[in-house]
Amino acid sequence: MINIPKGTKDTLPQDSYKWQYVESTAREIASLFRLNEIRTPTFEHTELFQRGVGDTTDIVTKEMYTFKDKGDRSITLKPEGTAGAARSFIENGMQNGVLPVKMYYITPAFRYERPQAGRLREFHQFGVEVFGAASAQTDAETIAMADTLLKKLGLHIKLYINSIGCPTCRAAYNKALKDFFAPKLNELCHDCKTRYEKNPLRLLDCKEEGCKAINKNAPSILDYLCEDCHAHFEEVKACLDLAGIGYEIDPRIVRGLDYYTRTVFEFVSTSIGAQGTVCAGGRYDGLIEELGGNSVPAVGFAAGIERLLIVMEQTGVEIPAPVMPKVYIAGMDAECRKKAFELAIALRKRGVAVEIDHMDRSIKAQFKYADKIGAEYVAVIGGNELAEGVMNAKRMADGTSEKVAFANAVEYFASK
C-alpha cells in the first residue's frame, strides 16, 4: 500500500463541491473588480524565488522544493504565486502595455513545513496582483476585494494593517531595531540571530514564543515612516473608512516576503489557532525591478483556500450542495435497463442530470440508492411499462407519481 505524502491532502469526490464553491466565489469577486486570470507554471527556475521572494525569508532558506531536472537546471515548485506572475508580467511585455494590469490566480503552492492543521506542504492559494498603480486607493481597493470575498463566503474576519515604509524609512528603522535587539541577542532563537544580521525587519515575523515576547516591546515602524509613506498610509486608512471596512493597526505585521513596501495587511481568524491568517498581502513596489523589469509599483494578496475552508467549517457556514440528479431511471431487467440507458443519454443531451443503475441491482435496491444520491424523481421501467412505452415517474419529495411516455420523457424532465 502506497500512502499519500506527508503534508498533502486528497480532496474526495464527495467534498470537492466545497472547493468549487470557494473557487467560483473567488472568480466571481475577481471579475466584479475587473481582474483576469493568469496561469503560470507549477515550477520555475529556482533563482526566480531567490530573488523574488528573497533569500532571507523562511520560504527560500528552509521551505522550498528544489531539485535538479535531467538537464541539470535548478528547478523549484512554486512556494507562492506572486513571483511567477511578476516574471510573466515582465516577460510578456505587460509593463510596456496599458496599466494597471489586474490579475488573479488559483494555484497550488509547495512549502516544506511541519504539517499541522491549516499548514500543509501542498496547499492552495487564491491570489491577486495589481501591477502599475501606486496610489493608496489601489491598496484600499485590493483590501476591499479580499474583504468582499471573505464576507461573500460568510466569514467575518478581523483585518490588521500596517505600513513597513520604503527603503528610505526602512534604513532608519532597521538601525532602531538593531539597537533594540543588540542587548537581547542571546535570548533570541538561532534563526533570529541570522535575521538580526541580514534583515532585522524579519525579527518581528518570528513565530517562537520567546522571540515574540521580546518583540512586543520593539520600536514601531510607524514612528519611522518618511513623509511620503506616512501620507500614503493615512490615505489607505481614509479609503478603508470610506469603504466601511473596519481594521486594526498592528505595527508588528511585516509579512514573510522580502519584496513588500508600504502597506501590509492580514485577515486573521481567531477560530483556527496558530494558523489563523487566512489572507495576507500588501504592496511590493520593489519586486518588478528586482526581477529585471522597470520600476513598476504593485499590490496584491493571497488567501489560503484550505484555511478558508477550515474557518468556514468551524463557523458553521452552509455551503450550497452540489447538483443532485433530476431523475434516476430504474430498470427491472436487462431490457428495461437498456431503455433506461437510452433515455438517460437523450435527457443529458437536453441538460438534465440523470443517473441509472450500473450494478445490476433490484428495483428496491435501486430506489434505495436513488434516494441516497438525492434524485428528485425516480422513474421505473418494468416489463409492463416497457411494453406500453411509458415509465412511472415518482416525485420523491411527496411520493406522487405520473406515467410519462418515453417519447415525452425529455420534455417532461427538461421542464421540471
Query: Which residues bind to ligand ATP, rule: CB under 6 A?
Result: 80, 111, 113, 118-120, 123, 125, 256, 275, 277-280, 302-304, 306-307
Least separation in angstroms between residue 49's CB and ligand ATP is: 12
Which of residues 306 and 357 has its CB atom nearest to ligand ATP in the complex?
A: 306
Least separation in angstroms between residue 30's CB and ligand ATP is: 16
Spatial strand order in the sheet of 327-331: 354-356, 327-331, 377-381, 390-395, 401-405
Which of residues 17 and 112 has its CB atom nearest to ligand ATP in the complex?
A: 112
Least separation in angstroms between residue 349's CB and ligand ATP is: 42
Which of residues 87 and 255 has its CB atom nearest to ligand ATP in the complex?
A: 255
Which of residues 251 and 256 has its CB atom nearest to ligand ATP in the complex?
A: 256
Phi, then psi, of 282 in degrees rounded to 5: 160, -170
**Cell numbers standing for residue 74:** 535548478
Least separation in angstroms between residue 94's CB and ligand ATP is: 23
Spatial strand order in the sheet of 74-77: 43-45, 74-77, 66-68
Distance CA 297, CA 166 (A): 12
**Largest pairwise CA distance in the chain:** 94
Task: Give the type of residue at 183.
Answer: P
Least separation in angstroms between residue 304's CB and ligand ATP is: 2
Which of residues 115 and 154 has its CB atom nearest to ligand ATP in the complex?
A: 115
Least separation in angstroms between residue 157's CB and ligand ATP is: 11
Which of residues 200 and 276 has its CB atom nearest to ligand ATP in the complex?
A: 276
The angle, 0 to 180 degrees and rounded to 10, between the axes of the packed helices 16-32 and 136-152 is 150
Neighbours of 295 (CB within 10 A): 10
**Kind of pairing between the strands at 36-37 and 101-110:** parallel
Which of residues 267 and 413 has its CB atom nearest to ligand ATP in the complex?
A: 267
Q: What is the DSSP letter of 284?
A: -
Residue number of the CB atom closest to ligand ATP:
304
First to last CA, the chain: 46
Least separation in angstroms between residue 111's CB and ligand ATP is: 5
- Cβ distance 161 to 223 under 8 Å? no
Q: Does residue 258 sit in helix, strand or coil? A: coil
Least separation in angstroms between residue 200's CB and ligand ATP is: 18
Which of residues 156 and 368 has its CB atom nearest to ligand ATP in the complex?
A: 156
Which of residues 7 and 154 has its CB atom nearest to ligand ATP in the complex?
A: 7
Least separation in angstroms between residue 393's CB and ligand ATP is: 47
- Cβ distance 234 to 262 under 8 Å? no
- Cβ distance 281 to 301 under 8 Å? yes
Least separation in angstroms between residue 121's CB and ligand ATP is: 7
Q: How far is CA 354 from CA 122, 357, 404, in A?
A: 35, 10, 16
**Kind of pairing between the strands at 36-37 and 377-381:** unpaired
Distance CA 190, CA 141 (A): 39
Taking alpha carbons only, the member of 2, 278, 21, 112 closest to residue 11 is 21
**Cell numbers standing for residue 206:** 518570528
Helix (H) or strand (E) run with residue 60 in it: none
Which of residues 110 and 181 has its CB atom nearest to ligand ATP in the complex?
A: 110
**Kind of pairing between the strands at 66-68 and 74-77:** antiparallel
Least separation in angstroms between residue 82's CB and ligand ATP is: 9
Which of residues 111 and 237 has its CB atom nearest to ligand ATP in the complex?
A: 111
Taking alpha carbons only, the member of 109, 128, 49 closest to residue 83 is 49
